[in-house]
Amino acid sequence: MTGTGIPTPKTLQQAIDAAGGPIDLLRTSNMGTTIFPGIPPEFTNWRDEQRAWKESVALLEQTYHMTEMRLRGPDVMAFLSELGTNRFDTFAPMRGKQVIMTGPDGKMISDAVVFREEEDFLRVVGPPTAANWVQFNAEKTNYDVTFERDENMIVPRERRDVYRFQLQGPHALALMQEVTDGTLPDIKFFHIGEFKIGGKTVRALRHGMAGQPGFEVYGPWDDQQAVREVVEKAGEAYDLRKAGSVTYGTAAQESGWMPRPLPAIYEGEFMQSYREWIPARSFEAAGSLGGSFVSSEISDYYVDPFEVGYGNFVNLDHDFIGRDALARMKENQQRKKVTLVWDNGDVFDILRQSLTIDGPRSKFISLPVPMYSSFQADAVMRNGQGIGISNWMSYSSNAGSMLSTALIDMEHAEPGTEVTLLWGEPNSRRRTVEDHEVREIRATVAPVPYFDKSIKSKAGDKTVAA
């Protein structure tokens, strides 16, 4: 019972009902932005840690913050193909895939990276929004599939099944070649290789995260100290920088990946049973929705795979949840993903106004990650009219500017277009948000991914590919 005598909600649906709707539930949550546990905010300083993935090599820790679902059984691929929009007929063992999962309306629930290690065994690694959806469907499927859930370590515990870290940057390949016992295998993009470091067997997925190609290295939990010692010792010659938790939160910005959109689960009859299954203590129920974009319709905060840039991951040649809706959406796209480069002068003015004791304050801009909500949504304007939503933002030392990833109307998405972002949260009901006035920040539309199409080109493309 709560202090008012009203039963404490046990499920997401009960929490929504108690709050008066999903908007009221999320807009009154005091949860802040993403937490990356297990590591300090900075190992050195976040400016140099950011520069490492452009100039040398960065080690990005992934052991603690992601939830892993381990699926086994002869029907794992049939099961996965009903959840994912992707093409799976060529998805062989020892390969990885970024899997996109949608609801029946075609709007995104989550994405995750799937590691298919054996014919009948795979790991689904990503946010809790992905793990929850996979587990819910695994519990009720008729397919021959079993699952084990390896929760993230936001609540600390002694161990997990595997450790996991990424090496990204122009020197990542050379470092990997040096630390490998023998010869580093030729690992193609999004393939998994197996080899040894310091006498310990490791696996590595070849892909990039911070706008640079690199390696996601993982192995048995008890082997990590030996592996890390070899990598960090050899890394000294390559100016290896370990990225702290505040730096990790900025890594997606330059690559254009839009982490953790608001899952499209908060309304609709089809999702009713899912909302009744998700605990009230879950991230989906406890997370906060914040920012200057305000709507009474929760669906206005949803995104679809096409506008987020995942069109190539949508294969309509098989049945999956959301297929029919995506077939209709494909030819009727309204928005496009872009980078917004904030005006430095406006950012500096807002910082000054947020700290003044004379006159109305602005919403503080925390560096390098100014987001203050689990699901950030800030209004993007042009000529006084709303044209889109800014979803993810951080300062980039490599760009020398604050950047945000946004979805805006296609007619305004041409690089160089000048727009305005509204910074602040009008009439906020959250104690974690200080009293302030909403301010305008001028911004310029730029391409996605910003690292490849702007940072490298400005540097004369001197960055060496890993």
Confidence (pLDDT) at 210: 55
The per-residue pLDDT for 267 is 97
397 inside domain: no
Overall average pLDDT of the 258-287 stretch: 96
Indicate the pLDDT class of residue 451, thresholds 50, 70 and 90. Answer: confident
Mode of pairing for the β-strands spanning 385-396 and 335-342: unpaired
Residue type, 374: S
From residue 73, alpha-carbon distances to 70, 77, 88, 349 in Å are: 10, 9, 16, 58
pLDDT band at 46 (very low <50, low <70, confident <90, very high): very high
Query: How many percent of the chain have pLDDT more than 70?
Result: 95
**What is the pLDDT, as a whole number, of residue 114?**
99
Mean pLDDT of 104-115: 98
Bridge pairing between strands 200-208 and 213-220:
antiparallel
Q: What is the CATH number of the domain that holds 173?
A: 3.30.1360.120
pLDDT band for position 466 (cuts 50, 70, 90): very low
The C-alpha R_g of the chain, in whole angstroms, comes to 22
Residue 281's pLDDT band (boundaries 50, 70, 90)?
very high
Q: Per-residue pLDDT averaged across 350-375, rounded?
A: 94
What was the pLDDT predicted at 359? 81
Q: Report the pLDDT value the prediction gives residue 462, as an integer from 0 to 100.
A: 44
pLDDT value at residue 34: 84
Summarised one tens digit per residue, pLDDT across range 285-330 is: 999 999 999 999 999 999 999 999 999 999 999 999 999 999 999 9
Of 7 and 400, which is predicted with more confidence?
A: 400
Whether 3 has a pLDDT exceeding 70, the answer reads no
Q: Is 216 annotated as a binding residue?
A: yes
Amino acid at the residue 174: A
Contact present, 377 and 290 (Cβ < 8 Å): yes
Reported as a single tens digit per residue, the pLDDT across 215-226 is 999 999 999 999
Please say whether the dihedral angle defined by the alpha carbons of residues 129, 131, 135 and 138, taken in this order, is positive or negative.
positive
Domain for residue 230, yes or no?
A: yes
- For the entire predicted model, the pTM comes to 0.94
**Res 156: pLDDT:** 87
**456 belongs to a structural domain:** no
Residue 458 lies in a domain: no
Residue 258 has pLDDT above 50, yes or no: yes
Q: Are 375 and 260 in contact (CB under 8 A)?
A: yes
| 435 within a domain of the structure (yes/no) | no
Looking at the DSSP bridge assignments, the partners of residue 16 are: none
What confidence category does residue 209 fall into, taking pLDDT thresholds of 50, 70 and 90?
low
The residue among 433, 129, 146 whose CA lies nearest residue 271 is 129
In a domain, 291, yes or no: no
**Has residue 178 been placed in a domain?**
yes
pLDDT digits (tens, 9 = 90+) for 72-92: 999 999 999 999 999 999 999
pLDDT band at 461 (very low <50, low <70, confident <90, very high): very low
Q: How many CB atoms lie within 10 A of CB 33?
A: 18
Mean pLDDT across 192-210: 92
Residue 399 has pLDDT above 90, yes or no: yes
Q: What SS3 string covers the chain?
A: CCCCCCCCCCEHHHHHHHHCCHHHHHHCCCCCCCCCCCCCCCCCCHHHHHHHHHHCEEEEECCCCCEEEEEECCCHHHHHHHHECCCCCCCCCCEEEEEEEECCCCCEEEEEEEEEEECCEEEEEECHHHHHHHHHHHHHCCCCCEEEEECCCCCCCCCCCEEEEEEECCCHHHHHHHHECCCCCCCCCCEEEEEEECCEEEEEEEEECCCCEEEEEEEEHHHHHHHHHHHHHHHHHHCEEEECHHHHCCHHHHHCCCCCCCCCCCCCCCCHHHHHHCECCCHHHHCCEECCCCCCCHHHHCCCHHHHCCHHHCCCCCCCCCHHHHHHHCCCCCEEEEEEEECHHHHHHHHHHHHCCCCCCECCCCCCCCCCCCEECEEEEECCEEEEEEEEEEEECCCCEEEEEEEEEHHHCCCCCEEEEEECCCCCCCCCCCCCECEEEEEEEECCCHHHHHHHHHCCCCCCCC
How many domains does the chain divide into? 1
Q: What does pLDDT average to over the chain?
A: 94
Asked if residue 61 belongs to a domain, the reply is yes
Domain range for 193 is: 46-65+159-248
Position 450 confidence tier, pLDDT thresholds 50, 70, 90: confident
